[in-house]
Chains A and B, each alone.
Chain A
Amino acid sequence: MRKHGRGRGFAVVAALVGVVLLGAGHARAQAKEVVIGFLYPMTGPSAQIGIDALNMIKVAMDIVNNDVNINLPLGKGAGLPNLGGAKVRVVAVDHQGKPDIGLAEAERLITQEKAVALFGAYMSAVTNTASQVAERMGIPFVNADSSSPALTERGFKWFFRTSPHDGHFSEVMFDFMRDFEKNRNLKFRSVAILNEDTTFGTDSAKVQEALAQKFGRTVAAKIAFRAGTTSLDAEVGRLKSANADVFLPSLYTSDAILLTRTMRNLDYNPKLLIAQNAGYTDPKFVAEMGKQAEAAITRAPFALDLAAKKPLIPVVNEMFKKLSGGRDMADVSARAFTGFLTLVDAINRAGSTEPAAIQKALRETNLPADQLVMPWTGVKFDEKGQNIGVRAILQQLQGGAYHTVYPFDLALKEPIYPVPTWSERK
């Protein structure tokens, strides 16, 4: 391990000497490094998400800064060619999942650390405040994983989102219900919505309610609860009373664990459960609760089982596992990876660290599908800064692991319906 580190250190020194000797005149005129501010939760309930994202970004930086032969943006060659081989450096800050800290740290990254662009911040509530700072100061903000639809409806000029939002995600749920009804000759009349009370859950529930009306389904219950609660007994009690055909929860990891246990204790058996990602796709949730949450469906922008159709996935996953101590990359890390490479690619095309040039390059982004680890048609932003190449998929827990079940053309397994009741399980 240590030997390896020394070897790499030597390689870096040799490379620097080479740059000084060969390209001194040219390199001096250019920025030697490009600083990007990285805002994620590194402590608090969602700390693992931020730690995974940072490891994923280290993989991306390895690909960009070193000569890695892989079909990804900036894989070949070291550094950013249009900036004289400048390296990318990330300043990582911990916003603890708190919007006020996210705001203060965004300001510090721009003014003190001289970040040319910001990248973050997982939780929609924090992305909301941190991107306001970037907007005010005229610095590009790339978001890879916040799903509140409202974020790209603010008329911001410096905000770009590579990920699908809950509008796309929820739409796919309702598309699935419609197609599945036809396939199996079923009827889903009502839905019950359960959401945690931060920006993510609240906006997700709003979109789902609107879509339910659009698709002609009644909302039997719409229940908001305080995130990180000690008990969900009252909430599950209400859900039992409502007895809806489809149960749509939107919550983070800790609440997803508690919900699954409470559903079991109170014997609540929805026939179909479609979750809004977040907690349900946390690798820890899958590892610990995968068996108990059997047949739960979640929307996802990413799936490891797509490796059969996307050869990039296992390659990147192996690089990630070396840094993460064996954890597989998951939905959030894959999205962070894609968002970050999109940003770095734009900075390279801008050929400058001027914010306006990067903004222009981001607007002109057009990454093809084969350069992504995501099942998307590409990355291309509309005038609101939303990626229009997104495509959402649905996965179902079958035998403790997620398998893609929708859209039917990408599906690898048949959906299980109805969800087995608690008394039918061991």
Chain B
Amino acid sequence: MFTVPTADVLIQGIISGLLMGCIYALIAAGLSLIFGLMEIVNFAHGEFLMLAMYTAFWMYTLFALDPLLSVPICGGVLFVLGVVTHKGIIRRILGAPMLAQIFATFGLGIFLRAAAQFLWTPDFRQVSEPWVQGPVRLFGVSVGLPQLVSALASLLAFGLLIWFITKTEAGAALEATAQDRQAASLMGINTERMFTLGWGISSACVGVAGAFLASFFYVFPYVGSLFGLLAFVTVALGGFGSIPGSLVAGIMIGVIEVLAGLFIAPAFKYVAVFAIYLVVVLIRPQGLFGKF
């Protein structure tokens, strides 16, 4: 059952796993941020990604704007979507029972998926001629240029996010709200504003990831569920609320997926991912970097 791949196939696999992992991580970052901030799991997170990808696709189709150029637009659109979601839905259910909170975002996800199919048909669409496309030679093997660019950009976005949270006043206020809501509000922090900001930033992260993803992955109304599930696993593995945790976990998942596929069998790649996740959760329920 076990096979040993040739050296260049192995190197190629590890590199592409690393690259894909960075993107998984950026998608998961927003999810983790929201949970850390207000202990709400956004089940519509995958659909936010889908909307970001459609935004990039439409910018390309209608205005001939390359996905790389529409990164700030996608980030901005999704920031607004996050804020609206918070103001319109989340704020009203903060004190509600856990189940109501789950169903609110779950229902939002179904609504967005169905609306996307209604508006844009279930067809698979893609950016046909993006600026960055095709393969590039790296360490003597061929890897996808869009994946490479997206991974580097994801790392950059992570850097910015961590800088924002640790080095700026607004970031510190966000962190304080996450640690203790009441104490933070006693210190004069407007926690409601922090929640709104958190939702905005979280959605903007997935917006940026979606724009990059659209340069090499097809878009359709259900694309979010493919990546959404991996994002939940990434967050649980890395630790709920930990931004560096999602980076490490995302990359781990990307690499494990490829290695299991190469050494065991591609049919087992998700088995390996979920097995490692289960082991981590059993030994360390809070995840690798979790505080809870």
Residues of A within 8 A of B (CB): 43-45, 47-48, 51, 197, 223-226, 228-231, 233-235, 237-238, 240-241, 253-254, 257-258, 261-262, 264-267, 282, 284-285, 288, 422
Within 8 A of A (CB), among B114-136: 114, 117, 121-126, 128, 134-135
The CA of A231 and the CA of B12, in the complex, are separated in Å by 13
CB pair A224 B265 closer than 8 Å: yes
The CA of A237 and the CA of B257, in the complex, are separated in Å by 13
CB pair B220 A45 closer than 8 Å: yes
The CA of A233 and the CA of B259, in the complex, are separated in Å by 10
Q: Is B217 close to A, CB under 8 A?
A: yes
23 A-B pairs within 8 Å (CB atoms) are namely A43-B117, A45-B222, A47-B117, A47-B121, A47-B122, A224-B265, A224-B266, A224-B267, A234-B262, A234-B266, A238-B262, A253-B124, A254-B218, A257-B124, A258-B218, A264-B135, A265-B16, A265-B135, A266-B142, A266-B144, A284-B123, A288-B126, A422-B134
The chain B residue sitting closest to A44, CB to CB, is B222
Q: Is B245 close to A, CB under 8 A?
A: no
CB pair A237 B262 closer than 8 Å: yes
CB pair B267 A238 closer than 8 Å: no
Residues of B within 8 A of A (CB): 3, 5-6, 9-10, 12-13, 16-17, 20, 24, 114, 117, 121-126, 128, 134-135, 142-145, 147, 216-218, 220, 222, 226-227, 230, 254, 257-262, 265-267, 269-270
CB pair B270 A231 closer than 8 Å: no
CB pair B124 A266 closer than 8 Å: no
The chain A residue sitting closest to B216, CB to CB, is A261
The chain A residue sitting closest to B127, CB to CB, is A288
The CA of A282 and the CA of B218, in the complex, are separated in Å by 14
Residues of B within 8 A of A228 (CB): 226
CB pair A266 B135 closer than 8 Å: yes
Q: Of A230, A235, A238, A264, which one neighbours B226 at CB under 8 angstroms?
A: A230
The CA of A392 and the CA of B261, in the complex, are separated in Å by 34
Q: Of A234, A258, A285, which one neighbours B13 at CB under 8 angstroms?
A: A234
Residues of B within 8 A of A45 (CB): 122, 220, 222
Given A45-B222, A241-B6, A266-B16: A234 touches B121 (CB 8 Å cut-off): no
The CA of A231 and the CA of B216, in the complex, are separated in Å by 11
CB pair A234 B258 closer than 8 Å: yes
Given A197-B267, A241-B6: A231 touches B258 (CB 8 Å cut-off): yes
Residues of B within 8 A of A234 (CB): 13, 257-262, 266, 269
Residues of A within 8 A of B260 (CB): 234
The CA of A144 and the CA of B6, in the complex, are separated in Å by 44
Residues of A within 8 A of B220 (CB): 45, 254
Q: Of B20, B128, B226, which one neighbours A233 at CB under 8 angstroms?
A: B20
Given A43-B117, A238-B5, A240-B9: A223 touches B265 (CB 8 Å cut-off): yes
CB pair B218 A257 closer than 8 Å: yes
The CA of A267 and the CA of B134, in the complex, are separated in Å by 9
Residues of B within 8 A of A224 (CB): 265-267
Least Cβ distance of A379 to chain B in Å?
30
CB pair A237 B227 closer than 8 Å: no
Least Cβ distance of B14 to chain A in Å?
10
The CA of A161 and the CA of B52, in the complex, are separated in Å by 42
Residues of B within 8 A of A47 (CB): 117, 121-122
CB pair A265 B122 closer than 8 Å: no
CB pair A264 B125 closer than 8 Å: no
Least Cβ distance of B257 to chain A in Å?
7
Residues of B within 8 A of A254 (CB): 124, 218, 220
The CA of A225 and the CA of B257, in the complex, are separated in Å by 12
Q: Of A226, A288, A422, which one neighbours B124 at CB under 8 angstroms?
A: A288
The CA of A51 and the CA of B217, in the complex, are separated in Å by 23
The CA of A420 and the CA of B98, in the complex, are separated in Å by 57
Residues of B within 8 A of A230 (CB): 20, 24, 217, 226-227, 230
Given A265-B135, A266-B143: A231 touches B13 (CB 8 Å cut-off): no
The CA of A282 and the CA of B134, in the complex, are separated in Å by 23
The CA of A225 and the CA of B267, in the complex, are separated in Å by 5
Given A241-B6, A258-B217, A265-B143: A231 touches B123 (CB 8 Å cut-off): no
Q: Of B128, B226, B227, B269, which one neighbours A288 at CB under 8 angstroms?
A: B128
A-B residue pairs, 3 tightest by C-beta:
A234-B261, A47-B122, A265-B144
CB pair B142 A237 closer than 8 Å: no
CB pair A43 B122 closer than 8 Å: yes
Q: Of B20, B123, B134, which one neighbours A48 at CB under 8 angstroms?
A: B123
Residues of A within 8 A of B227 (CB): 230
Least Cβ distance of B99 to chain A in Å?
24
Least Cβ distance of B277 to chain A in Å?
16
The CA of A159 and the CA of B217, in the complex, are separated in Å by 39
CB pair B16 A422 closer than 8 Å: no
Residues of B within 8 A of A226 (CB): 267, 269-270
Least Cβ distance of B79 to chain A in Å?
25
Given A223-B265, A225-B266, A288-B124: A267 touches B142 (CB 8 Å cut-off): yes
B12, B126, B257, most chain A CB atoms within 10 A: B12
Residues of A within 8 A of B254 (CB): 231
The chain A residue sitting closest to B269, CB to CB, is A234
The chain B residue sitting closest to A234, CB to CB, is B261
The chain B residue sitting closest to A268, CB to CB, is B142
The chain B residue sitting closest to A226, CB to CB, is B270
Least Cβ distance of B60 to chain A in Å?
13
